């Protein structure tokens, strides 16, 4: 185990959006740098598109940057690396005073993956998640094969190579593929 | 805003930590590849929750709370995971029982997840906001664990004669330990979750053509640090590297 930034509870300032308290120059530069950080496990998505970036706040007087992120899953092993890459991205953009904090509430949902993010997932053959279940009885929707479009698919495993994906196979073209689980 | 004392946090943290350690032991040894991936993913979720709870407890403790801890360093999640002795652990006995059959692993996971789903729902609505945030996140994961254990319980219970026999045996062996599992942890003031828990577990066992045992003995003591010998062996393996190389880092 490696001790990272202590998790802090409390209400998030924004569920999916990114706040930048400083108008113009420093604020937008910091925000752009952080938004471009790529998720280490699904490398086609940025952390902004994945919906795990909560806020980027810049104190204009000092140039200090405070970034708030949230984990996809409690045990997500990529969080340490994501923190390090946020710091590195900000350092490259000239920000040296950087704090990355983790916020758990409200809990991340796949509904926070942006439209652009969903298109990018689909483009690399990862089926984007269905809307997260809200009622007591989730109704599973047909999952279409990303290779041939057939709805005749079967789930091979409810868990995949990362915590957020499940493994499927197409019964028509037999291609195996991944789906991001609605969560 | 209330703060939950370490004694209570450790009960829930240790349930998750010990579960993670046992599940991780299936890595590369599960009955099939997909299950290997599933069990280790669940282990990772449990470990994640354990770390959050241990960190919360650690921030409230000083080194004298852990006899083996270095006196000149702050208590961290690692101090609590790697430097406490068996009698300092507060997990319930169920989670430390050895996974000597795959049906036992599934039975333990079913019983634990059914409890954690209910527990985290209660904690996420509590007055301790930090604990509520941890529980709110964990609740979503536990629902998935419960569903996974449910599907395997159905498959094994309502499967072949042999799978049914072994699943029933696991349920019979584990059942006595579920009384301690669902009892409110000391000092928490929470309600007993047994009837809620039975409302989840009962229909699953029935659908799996398994009998829910009644009566019998009710072992306990884990929440007070009185454990089976299985925990000592598990900790010896889990802690050996940390103890042999104090302060080592990746």
Tell if the CB–CB gap between A9 and B52 is shorter than 8 Å.
Answer: no
| B244 burial level (CB within 10 Å; 0-12, 13-18, 19+) | exposed
Tell if the CB–CB gap between A157 and B76 is shorter than 8 Å.
Answer: no
Tokens 């650690």 correspond to B58
Q: Is residue A30 a contact partner of residue A93, using CB atoms and an 8 Å limit?
A: yes
Last residue of a domain, one of A110, A140, A164: A110
Domain check: are A134 and A164 in the same one?
Answer: yes
Answer whether B158 touches A (CB < 8 Å).
no
Domain check: are A88 and A151 in the same one?
Answer: no
**In this structure, what token pair is assigned to residue B70?**
């270095």
| Average pLDDT for A69-91 | 94
Q: Which helix (H) or strand (E) holds A103?
A: strand A98-103
Q: What residues in A contact B3, CB-CB < 8 Å? A: none
Structural domain includes residue B217 = no
- What's the pLDDT tens digit per position in B137-186? 999 999 999 999 999 999 999 999 999 999 999 999 999 999 999 999 99
Q: What is the CATH number of the domain that holds B124?
A: 1.20.1260.10
What is the domain count for chain A? 2
Minimum CA–CA partner of A73 in chain B: B45
A13 pLDDT tier (thresholds 50, 70, 90): very low
- Enumerate residues 6+ apart whose C-beta is below 8 A from B244: none
Q: What is the predicted pLDDT for the residue at A125?
A: 92
Domain check: are A98 and A130 in the same one?
Answer: no
Tokens 């952080």 correspond to A34
A26 pLDDT tier (thresholds 50, 70, 90): confident
Q: Which helix (H) or strand (E) holds B46?
A: helix B33-58
Domain of A49?
A: 7-110
Coil vs helix vs strand at A25:
helix
For B118-133, the DSSP string reads: HHHHHHHTSS-HHHHH
Domain check: are A74 and A144 in the same one?
Answer: no
Tell if the CB–CB gap between A159 and B76 is shorter than 8 Å.
Answer: no
Structural domain includes residue B186 = yes
| A34 burial level (CB within 10 Å; 0-12, 13-18, 19+) | buried
User: pTM to 2 decimals?
Assistant: 0.89
Answer whether A142 touches B (CB < 8 Å).
no
Answer whether B38 touches A (CB < 8 Å).
yes
Angle, vertex CA B97, rays to CA A162 and CA B188, nearest 5: 85
What is the domain count for chain B? 1
Tell if the CB–CB gap between A104 and B133 is shorter than 8 Å.
Answer: yes
Answer whether A138 touches B (CB < 8 Å).
no
Minimum CA–CA partner of B130 in chain A: A9
Minimum CA–CA partner of B140 in chain A: A183
Domain check: are A132 and A159 in the same one?
Answer: yes
β-partners of residue A19 are A55
- What CA–CA distance (Å, rounded) separates B241 from A128? 40
Last residue of a domain, one of A68, A86, A110: A110
Q: What is the predicted pLDDT for the residue at A136?
A: 55
Q: Chain-wide mean pLDDT for chain B?
A: 96
Q: Chain-wide mean pLDDT for chain A?
A: 84
**In this structure, what token pair is assigned to residue A150?**
């057939």
Sheet holding A53-59, edge to edge: A7-8, A98-103, A64-69, A53-59
Tokens 């609590």 correspond to B80
- What CA–CA distance (Å, rounded) separates A146 from A123? 8
Minimum CA–CA partner of B38 in chain A: A159
- What CA–CA distance (Å, rounded) separates B133 from B137? 6
Mutate: best of B13, B133, B203, partner A, most A CBs <10 A:
B133
Q: What is the predicted pLDDT for the residue at A159?
A: 87
A59 phi and psi, to 5 degrees?
-90, 110
Q: What is the predicted pLDDT for the residue at A17?
A: 42
**In this structure, what token pair is assigned to residue B101?**
């059959």
Domain of B237?
A: 6-209+225-244
A130 pLDDT tier (thresholds 50, 70, 90): confident
Structural domain includes residue B216 = no
Structural domain includes residue B55 = yes
> From the list B45, B56, B77, which residue is nearest A73 (CB)?
B45
Structural domain includes residue B121 = yes
> From the list B59, B148, B250, which residue is nearest A158 (CB)?
B148
Residue ranges of chain B with per-residue pLDDT less than 70: none
Q: Is 80 exceeded by the pLDDT of residue A131?
A: yes
Structural domain includes residue B188 = yes
Domain check: are A91 and A170 in the same one?
Answer: no
Residue of A138, A146, A139 whose CA lies nearest to A167:
A146
Tell if the CB–CB gap between B136 and A104 is shorter than 8 Å.
Answer: yes
Q: What is the CATH number of the domain that holds A105?
A: 3.30.300.130
Q: Is residue B103 a contact partner of residue B170, using CB atoms and an 8 Å limit?
A: yes
């Amino acid at each position: 185990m490696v001790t990272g930034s202590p998790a802090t509870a409390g209400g998030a300032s924004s569920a999916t959006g990114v706040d930048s308290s400083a108008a113009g120059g420093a604020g937008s530069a910091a925000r752009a740098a952080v938004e471009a950080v790529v998720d280490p496990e699904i490398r086609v998505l940025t952390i902004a598109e994945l919906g795990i970036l909560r806020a980027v706040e810049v104190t204009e007087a000092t140039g200090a940057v405070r970034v708030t992120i949230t984990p996809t899953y409690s045990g997500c092993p990529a969080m340490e690396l994501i923190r390090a890459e946020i710091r590195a991205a900000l350092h490259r953009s000239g920000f040296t005073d950087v704090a990355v904090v983790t916020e758990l509430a409200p809990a991340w949902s796949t509904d926070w993956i942006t439209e652009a993010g969903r298109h990018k997932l689909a483009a690399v053959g990862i089926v984007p998640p269905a809307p997260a279940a809200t009622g007591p009885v989730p109704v599973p929707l047909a999952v279409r094969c990303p290779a041939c479009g057939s709805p005749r698919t079967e789930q091979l495993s409810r868990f995949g190579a990362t915590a957020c994906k499940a493994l499927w196979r197409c019964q028509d073209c037999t291609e195996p593929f991944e789906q991001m689980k609605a969560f | 805003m209330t703060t939950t004392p370490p004694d209570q946090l450790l009960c829930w943290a240790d349930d998750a930590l010990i579960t993670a350690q046992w599940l991780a032991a299936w890595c590369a040894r599960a009955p099939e590849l997909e299950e290997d991936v599933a069990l280790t993913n669940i282990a990772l979720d449990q470990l994640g929750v354990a770390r959050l709870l241990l960190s919360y407890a650690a921030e409230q403790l000083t080194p004298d709370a852990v006899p083996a801890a270095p006196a000149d360093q702050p208590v961290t999640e690692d101090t609590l995971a790697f430097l406490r002795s068996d009698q300092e652990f507060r997990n319930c006995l169920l989670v430390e029982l050895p996974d000597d059959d795959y049906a036992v692993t599934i039975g333990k996971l079913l019983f634990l997840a059914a409890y954690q789903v209910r527990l985290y729902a209660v904690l996420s609505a509590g007055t301790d906001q930090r604990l509520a945030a941890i529980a709110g996140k964990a609740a979503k994961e536990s629902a998935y664990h419960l569903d996974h254990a449910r599907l395997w319980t159905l498959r094994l219970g309502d499967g072949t004669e042999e799978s049914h026999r072994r699943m029933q045996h696991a349920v019979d062996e584990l059942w006595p330990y579920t009384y301690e599992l669902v009892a409110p942890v000391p000092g928490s003031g929470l309600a007993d979750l047994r009837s809620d828990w039975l409302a989840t577990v009962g229909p699953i066992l029935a659908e799996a053509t398994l009998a829910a045992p009644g009566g019998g003995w009710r072992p306990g003591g884990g929440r007070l640090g009185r454990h089976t010998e299985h925990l000592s062996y598990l900790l010896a393996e889990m802690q050996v590297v940390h103890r042999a190389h104090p302060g080592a880092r990746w």
